[in-house]
Structure 1
Amino acid sequence: MTTVATPLAPADTASGAGANPRRRSVVWLGLVPFAAYVVLFLAIPAILAVGSGFFDNAGAFTFANLAAFANPNILQSFVSSIWISALTALLGAVIGALVCFALLGTRPDGFLRTIVDSASSVLAQFGGVMLAFAFTATIGTQGFITTSLVHLGLADNIFNSFDNKGTWIYQVSGLVIPYLYFQVPLMVLTFMPAMQGLKTTWAEASATLGGSRFTYWTRIGMPILAPAFFGSLILLFANSFSSYATAAALISQGGIIPLAIRQQLTSETVVGVANVAGVLALGMVVVMIVLMTAYSALQRRASRWQR
């Protein structure tokens, strides 16, 4: 009997299956810098911040610090953070969705779409001291618009509901307009892909069956866009809820949770409770986990129509 030598399959050679684990290990090595960054600058600080709320001044483990949530000032800070985040998220989502709807009539590679996309990418990250200074110089006590209204004699009619001309921007309610400055661009960035995912064949099919434009949007367009819209709404809420720099530059005292954490770090104000900053950080983390869980679920549902 003649024995025929069977050539080795590529998977059996050194350049085949045996080399794949080595290639995969090299690929995983590329994630080491990012993983180190996440662990050192995100995971460890978050664990230390939240974990500190479960220890007293002597270093003993305790749940007594959670009593800080019963403090009226702490509760008011949470309420203020929630309502300012909900309001700016809702307004930002509605305005941003209208901008996305208007952009549907433009060419994807056109000049207007390019300008709006570029501006949204920049303005969505424009916050902190620079944004606070821009609004202070514009509508602050000595801002350009405020002083112009004073010279025109219109300031008393416009600012009569406030304690002083231009001071409203330095209150919690005054954060609405600065927050919208980065909330609307963020909505445009997150919601526009969903709007682009609407297929023209769906509108044509609806029209062929006798459906009006109103019928198309109420029975096809809006139900399809609903998961993406509410997912973006949650993202905007989380973005506003965790914002610190802009509020810190405009408001000197506490009023929202990020500023309350700063206040607790600089001067302990809740008598008889230790590590209140860690307790507040725990509350923020719980809120963010709930929001991100809901956001992930909505994104998975919305992705079905974007394929």
Structure 2
Amino acid sequence: MTTSTLDVAPATIPAAPAPARGGGRLSRLSAAVGVVPFLAYVVIFLIVPTVTVVIGAFVEEGRPSLANVRDLANAAVFSSLANSLALSAVTALIGGIVGALLAYAVVTGRPDGLLRRLVTSICGVLAQFGGVTLAFAFIATLGISGVLSVWLDAHLGTSLTSSTWLFGLKGLVLVYAYFQIPLMVIVFLPALDGIRVQWREAAENLGATTWQYWRLVGLPLLTPAFLGSVLLLFANAFAAYATAAALVSQGNPIIPLWIRSALTSEIVLGHANFAYALALEMIIIVALVMTGYSVLLKRTSRWLG
């Protein structure tokens, strides 16, 4: 008697073993432990100082007070704030325009060429070359006894050795531009790399000229990235302290130097916590600038990916 194929029991597929309950928890715990160092860094170097500044700005002689905040309306302090904003804006525009042009020149070459590797390496070093070292380099070059100042006075009849322009706002513009330009190259290169060759080829196939391509396609795409990079440069210059402190030894032309004076002087407006109010003012401005930078960065990321 033959057995019908319909009577044969179907083969059973063994079920996959269920994952252990402890495995998922262990992986999540491992991921959480990996974030702990970063969270500790943020708490110690960002949250705690910010909270300290906010509380200190509204405290005077151990009691809540608005005296420190009211003193921000002082004419000298307001003038220093205007100088800080102007210095940051001018150096951000100089660094943004020159850095963007340099970045475009680099992008036009080979992606893995020697020129690009050399320029990006140099910019990475120069963008971090600041503080007292940078100030000393400019003093030794363009200061009253600087090498270049002495040579120009001797051969071209200039008067740089008797001028103190380097130790004022004009000098800060030059020195700040020194690290703003390479920083712009670094932060703007990814946006230029995101511009695809196919977009230009499509525009040319449709009869667009080079100027029309950049006016209608390239520049509108790059504008949010450019503005975001300029805002980043603005925040970078606005918060810079060590270079200005080394160059400017008298007066407080910018807010960071006012904070130095408030912390080291015993007679500044008679308020020990006035430095906290100045720092709070800077935190608010930088927070607004970085918020704008974040918005522009999100807009750029829509096509950059």
TM-score by length of 2: 0.92
Q: Deviations over 1:99-151 (max 9, x none)?
A: 01111221111000000111111111110011011101110100011101222
Asked if 1:281 is matched to 2:287, the reply is no
Asked if 1:170 is matched to 2:167, the reply is yes
User: Match of 1:213?
Assistant: 210
Asked if 1:93 is matched to 2:99, the reply is no
**Aligned-pair CA distance for 1:41:** 2.5
Q: Distance in 1 between matches of 2:79 and 2:109?
A: 45
Task: State the one-letter code of the partner of 1:262.
Answer: R
Note closer, same or farther for the CA distance 1:69–1:98 as it changes in structure 2 (3 Å cut). Answer: same
**Aligned-pair CA distance for 1:77:** 1.0
Task: State the one-letter code of the partner of 2:56.
Answer: S
User: Match of 2:57?
Assistant: 53
**Structure 1, unpaired ranges of 5+:** none
User: Match of 1:63?
Assistant: 66
**Aligned-pair CA distance for 1:269:** 4.3
Q: Distance in 1 between matches of 2:127 and 2:271?
A: 38
Q: Distance in 2 between matches of 1:8 and 1:166?
A: 86
User: Paired residue for 1:132, among 116, 132, 135?
Assistant: 135
Q: Distance in 2 between matches of 1:179 and 1:269?
A: 30
**Aligned-pair CA distance for 1:66:** 1.1
Q: Deviations over 1:156-195 (max 9, x none)?
A: 4xx5xxxx63411111221011111110011000101000
User: Match of 2:300?
Assistant: 302
Q: Within 5 Å, give how 1:233-252 maps onto structure 2.
A: 233-252=230-249
The answer to whether the 8 A contact 1:172-1:251 is kept is no
The answer to whether the 8 A contact 1:135-1:178 is kept is yes
**Structure 2, unpaired ranges of 5+:** 1-8
User: Match of 2:41?
Assistant: 37
TM-score by length of 1: 0.91
Matched residue of 1:30: which SS? Answer: helix
Q: Deviations over 1:35-78 (max 9, x none)?
A: 21221222212221232011011x11122321111101110110
What's the RMSD between the two structures over aligned residues? 1.9
The answer to whether the 8 A contact 1:68-1:270 is kept is no
Task: State the one-letter code of the partner of 1:27.
Answer: A
The answer to whether the 8 A contact 1:146-1:166 is kept is no
**Aligned-pair CA distance for 1:268:** 4.3
Q: Within 5 Å, give how 1:158-237 maps onto structure 2.
A: 159=160, 165-237=162-234
Q: How many residues align?
A: 295
Q: Distance in 2 between matches of 1:280 and 1:139?
A: 32
User: Paired residue for 1:118, among 110, 116, 121?
Assistant: 121
**Aligned-pair CA distance for 1:5:** 9.4
Q: Distance in 2 between matches of 1:283 and 1:48?
A: 14
